[in-house]
Amino acid sequence: MSLWPIAELLPHAGDMILLDEVLRYGEEDVETRLQVRPAGLFNQADGSLPAWLGVELMAQSIAAYAGCQARQAGAPVELGFLLGTRSFQCNVERFPAGAELHIHATRTLQDDNGMGVFECRLSGPGIEAFARLNVFRPPQVASYLAEQPQETTP
């Protein structure tokens, strides 16, 4: 079980927080959990979640990993960016309402410039999904996002 509530680990708010909790946090990996609730922001008419949302669940797990690192260091949780994945494989089209999903994300690469790669696995009852996610968290997020003044020519 996590030392911190999930809302304190993610740079998300309200209905955009899809995870329920961090089950375990380690030096190189994180395990998270959620129960699919039928009335969420992304649910289909039958209460299920579309399988493509698995990429976001994996990305939020990586964000929770970064949030745990920040909290452990006494630093604020900062914004990061999902750059994408070359391959998302899932054996189902949707995650049914009531299903408990577990996500495991392992860091396989991280450089000093903030680029990272994580191997992710999502599992649940009869559900298996895999992806390698590329992420970016710049060292100085605020200055990275700051709009640069436009030069004008006379």
3-state secondary structure of 51: helix
Mean pLDDT of 91-104: 98
The residue ranges of every structural domain in the chain are 6-139
Per-residue pLDDT tens over the stretch 133-151 = 999 988 776 666 666 666 7
* pTM value surpassing 0.75: yes
Q: CATH topology for 6-139?
A: Thiol Ester Dehydrase; Chain A (3.10.129)
3-state secondary structure of 47: coil
pLDDT bracket for residue 22 (50, 70, 90):
very high
Q: In percent, how much of the chain has pLDDT > 70?
A: 89
Per-residue pLDDT tens over the stretch 30-64 = 999 999 999 888 999 999 999 999 999 999 999 99
What's the rounded Cα separation, in Å, for the pair 38 and 129?
Answer: 21
Two tokens at 53? 């949302």
Residue 113, pLDDT score:
87
Helices (H), 110-153: 141-145
Residue 1, pLDDT above cutoff 60: no
Residue 39, pLDDT score:
87
Per-residue pLDDT tens over the stretch 104-142 = 999 999 888 889 999 999 999 999 999 999 999 887 766
